[in-house]
Chains A and B, each alone.
Chain A
Amino acid sequence: DVKVTQSSRYLVKRTGEKVFLECVQDMDHENMFWYRQDPGLGLRLIYFSYDVKMKEKGDIPEGYSVSREKKERFSLILESASTNQTSMYLCASSNDLGYGYTFGSGTRLTVV
């Protein structure tokens, strides 16, 4: 079964900390995505990558950065965590958008 694995299900971090969210896929997919999900706001795209070392800003990139050094791994970085970044973070990957994305199980991040 194809898989997208997010390293943590739950994280609690302090304001101002640097936070790394890791995502690994085993499907040799070209495209990887990071979304955040908040009640009533749906899925909002933070960043995506269509190749190693390539990245594109999504709709809400402020306060975030990403890294894709290897094809299978896409990391989301919160440079200085703030309470308004408390959210559910979802990673996804895709080779052919016609077949949609495969999502990870999500990381619920709480910044205190």
Chain B
Amino acid sequence: GQQLNQSPQSMFIQEGEDVSMNCTSSSIFNTWLWYKQDPGEGPVLLIALYKAGELTSNGRLTAQFGITRKDSFLNISASIPSDVGIYFCAGRIQGAQKLVFGQGTRLTINP
């Protein structure tokens, strides 16, 4: 099945650093979503984006809906230990019955 190309697959950073990750697709999406999965838990929705060019923040997290509608970006500023986890992007194609997910970015933070 279709998957989004999410990168990087993993990141090892120092506490306080900024983080960037992105997702790309060959298809046009009308919704982009970013989820975070804590260890041993299910993914939780962080940010939803609905328009090309849209920039939305949730605390230290900022996500953007790419102008081409084929990509999205997530930035985390001033990382803290509780940011550790797996981040997934997801997209919805017009009329689709289900979301398409990226493979995830595993974030590890050294204190």
Contacts and interface: CB of A to CB of B under 8 A. Distances in A.
Contacts of A108: 40
A56 B97 CA distance: 10
B104 A98 contact: no
Nearest to B47: A100
Q: How large is the interface on B (under 10, 10 to 19, 20 to 34, 35 or more residues)?
A: 20 to 34
Nearest to A108: B40
Interface stretch (B13-21, B57-65, B72-80, B88-96): B88-96
A92 B3 CA distance: 18
Contact of A45 (B1, B33, B92, B102): B1
Contacts of B44: 103
Interface string A84-112: 00000010100001111111111010000
Nearest to B30: A98
A97 B42 contact: no
B42 A43 contact: no
Contacts of A90: 42-43
A106 B97 contact: no
A106 B99 contact: no
Contact of B101 (A31, A40, A43): A43
Interface of B: 1, 3, 6, 9, 31, 33, 35, 40-45, 48, 50, 88, 90, 92, 96-99, 101-104
| 7 A-B pairs closest in CB distance | A103-B42, A59-B1, A42-B103, A100-B33, A43-B101, A100-B45, A105-B42
Interface of A: 4, 31, 33, 40-45, 48, 50, 56, 58-59, 90, 92, 97-106, 108
